[in-house]
Amino acid sequence: MPDLTIDIHDVAKTYRGKIEALRGIEMQVHAGEVFGLLGPNGAGKSTLVKILMTVIRPTRCAGTVLGSRVGHKPTLARVGYLPEHHKFPEYLTGGQVLDFYGAMADVPRADRRRRADELLETVGMTKWKKKKVGSYSKGMRQRLGIAQALINDPDLVVLDEPTDGVDPMGRRDIRDVVKLLRDQGKTVFINSHLLSELELVCDRVAILVKGLVRQQGTLDELAGGDERYEIRLSAPLPPTGTIDLGVDSGLISIDGRTIRVSTTDIERVQPVIAALVSRGIAIHSMGPARPSLEDLFMAAVESDPGVGA
C-alpha cells in the first residue's frame, strides 16, 4: 500500500455559472490515519469528497487515491463511502441493502453474507436485519450507512457527515467504529462540521475555506506556538480596573473565570499566581492547555478576508 492514501494536487471545480467551488486543493492523507476535513458551509467540502468518489467530475485534478488516478473506477472497489444525506431504497431490508451495495462493489456473495452479519453486529443493528429501511430512524439509517461503507472491506473509508442526526450515544458508537477501523489499519476520511467529534478521533485535519486548504496537519502542528497555561478561578476577577498580574499584559487574556497566559514557560506563570494569591483570589485549577479545534478553526476562517463579512 502506498504511504499516501490520498495525494491530490491542484483540484479545482468550477460549476456552470462560473461558481468556483474549489480553487486548487492540495491534500495528503497518510495510510492508516483518521483524517478530518473541516470548513464552513460552502467551503467546498462536499464537492471535494464527491470528486474523490467520482460523483462530480473535477475541472482540474492531479493526484491519486490508493495509488490510482482520481476517477479510476476499479479502485473504488477498495473504497467505502457514506454519502451525506444518503437515501437507501425503502423497499429493501437492512440485510438486502448491504447485499445490494456489496454486489455493486463487486464483493462475492459468500463474503457479502458473512460481512453483512459481522457489520450489523458492529453497528448494533443485528435485530433490524430483516426490517425494511423505510421503518428505520435517522440514527439507524446512519448506522446502516456505515455498515454499507464497510461491506467491501475497504482500505479507505470516506464518511460524509457520519454523525449527522445521530444522538449522543450513537455518536459514541460511531466514534468507536472509527477507532476500530484505525486499529485495523484502514484509512478513514471524515467530513464533518462537528468539530468536537473530529477532535476526539482525528489524527490529522485540513481546514478548507473558500475552496482552498487553509491549514493542514496534526492537531499539534496546527496549534504550533499557540500553547498556553490556563488558570481557572473559583470566582470572576473583581472589576477593579486594571490589575497588575506581574507579567506583560499582552500575554494575558481574561475570559470570565479563566485567565490565559500565552507562554510555554511555566516560570513566567509564577508571578501571575503570586499576584492572584496576594489578592486573596482562590485558584480553582491550573494547567497547560492548547487551543481547541474550534479555536483553530475560527482562527483559520476569520483570518480569511471576506469570510463572515
**Interface with another protein by CB under 8 A: which residues?**
15, 50, 53-57, 73-77, 79, 81, 83-89, 91-92, 96, 99-101, 103-109, 148
Q: Are 179 and 200 in contact (CB under 8 A)?
A: no
Give min distance, CB of 79 to another protein, in A: 7
Closest to another protein by CB, 16 vs 306, is 16
Q: Specify whether the CB–CB gap between 157 and 181 falls below 8 A.
A: yes
> How far apart, in whole angstroms, are the C-alpha atoms of residue 70 and residue 9?
11
Closest CB to another protein among 77 and 243? 77
85 vs 257, beta carbon nearer another protein: 85
For residue 120, the tally of other CB atoms under 10 A from its CB is 20
Cell numbers describing residue 227: 500553547
Smallest gap from residue 120 Cβ to another protein (A): 18
We find the least distance from the C-beta atom of residue 305 to another protein, in angstroms, to be 29
Residues 6+ apart with CB under 8 A from 197: 163, 171, 175
Q: Closest distance between another protein and the C-beta of residue 111, in Å?
A: 11
Asked whether the beta carbons of 270 and 244 are under 8 A apart, the reply is no
Grid coordinates representing 65 are 487515491
Judged by phi (left if over 0) then psi (alpha if -120 to 50, else beta), residue 3 lies in alpha
Query: Residue 125 CB, nearest distance to another protein (Å)?
Result: 17
Instruction: Taking the CA atoms of 178, 83, 76 and 65 in sequence, report the sign of the dihedral they define.
Output: negative
Nine-digit cell string for 83: 454519502
Q: Which is nearer to another protein, 84 or 118 (CB)?
A: 84
Nearer to another protein (CB atom), residue 69 or residue 109: 109
Smallest distance, another protein to C-beta of residue 189, A: 13
Q: What type of residue is 59?
A: T
Residue among 130 and 267 whose Cβ is closer to another protein = 130
* Contact (Cβ atoms closer than 8 angstroms) between residue 304 and residue 214: yes
